[in-house]
Amino acid sequence: MSADSSGWAKATAADAIAIDPRALATRAMAKARDSHNPREIPAGRYTVILEPAAVLDLVGQMFADFSATALADQRSFLTDRLNAKLFGANINIVDDVCHPLQTGPPFDGEGVPRTSMRLVEAGVPKEIAVSRAAALKSNLAPTGHGYPLPNEVGEAPVNIVIAGGSYSIDDMIRSTERGILITRLWYIREVDPYEKMMTGMTRDGTFLIECGEVVAGLRNFRFNQSIIEVLNNVEMMSPTERASGEEAIDMVVPAMKVHNFHLSGVTKF
């Protein structure tokens, strides 16, 4: 775990298994201190740095669509988009229960062994989860991602790993002339299912970045943002770590620096 004099400690990939609680406390205190008397700046499109928990809760909204049942029902944003470039070339996502930072049984709710899946490769959606029931209706083999029966959902990947990069959050901050650091998101709801347009709010620490430094806490924002657009606008990524949130299951994800993120309104807190 690294830390600078301001107390903004950052976790590395090696720290993901055993994180020093003192460093976490130092970071929490720094965020509490820097959130005092938050400024208000106008809504608009900004370069943002999404910490892993924020990435998880936003990007995690799309994985139920990686489903043979959802595609058959035409309620997936991947309808007519499989094997076509949809995201940036730097986006690679797998579902892998055997990844060292993932957890859970090696079989699904139907007792089928889980297979590893290439969900997205160089920005191209490749594979989807298939339950036994969905397999019977198609020429696909079950992948071990079915829910216990009876259910109306069918299946979904549940051991998400998004490949990361080599930059720390501090590197991302230093590279940003003006932007916003976002700790977490919440109250996320879908606006446009096919474009994966989501709305929600920032929380637990939102900060203004100027000239490569965190200079002030900010009032929270509402956002209206397409996940597809986010995953086309990723400039930098940190090493992956296991993250938890409120709006999605635990995943292994990086922090992301994203340009042109739409913060559509300012809250009063």
What is the per-residue pLDDT across 154-206, written as a single tens digit (0 to 9) for each? Answer: 999 999 999 999 999 999 999 999 999 999 999 999 999 999 999 999 999 99
Q: Does residue 61 form part of some domain?
A: no
How far is 131 from 193, CA to CA, in rounded Å?
22
Please tell me the predicted confidence (pLDDT) of residue 30.
84
Mean pLDDT of the chain: 91
What stretches of the chain show up as alpha helix (H) in DSSP? Answer: 21-34, 52-59, 68-72, 132-136, 169-174, 227-230
The pLDDT, as a whole number, for residue 19 is 66
Least confident segment among 28-42, 91-105, 149-163, 224-238 = 28-42
Hey, what amino acid is at 253?
A: V
* Residue 249 lies inside a defined structural domain of this protein: yes
- 12 confidence band (pLDDT: 50, 70, 90): very low
Is 134 within a domain? no
| Percent of the chain clearing pLDDT 90 (strictly above) | 82
The answer as to whether 47 is a domain residue is yes
**If you average pLDDT over residues 66-76, what whole number do you get?**
96
Res. 135 pLDDT band, cuts 50 70 90: very high
Average pLDDT over residues 88-107: 96
**Phi and psi angles of residue 150, each rounded to the nearest 5 degrees, phi first:** -85, 150
Residue 126 falls inside a structural domain: no
- Residues β-bridged to residue 154: none
Domain of 230, in residue numbers: 37-54+165-266
pLDDT at res. 190: 98
Q: Is the dihedral of CA 166, 65, 233, 11 positive or negative?
A: negative
pLDDT given at position 32 = 85
Total number of domains in the chain:
1
Position 269 scores a pLDDT of 76
The verdict on residue 125 lying in a domain is no
pTM for the full model? 0.90
Residue 36: pLDDT band (50, 70, 90) is confident
Strand residue runs (E) in 56-196? 93-95, 117-121, 124-125, 160-162, 178-192
Which one has a higher pLDDT value, 267 or 198? 198
Per-residue model confidence as pLDDT tens digits over 202-260: 999 999 999 999 999 999 999 999 999 999 999 999 999 999 988 999 999 999 999 99
Whether 23 is covered by a domain: the verdict is: no
Please report the pLDDT score of residue 166 as a whole number: 96
- Tell me, yes or no, whether 119 lies in a domain: no
| Of 231 and 5, the one with more pLDDT | 231
Q: Which residue, 146, 69, 74, is CA-closest to 107?
A: 146
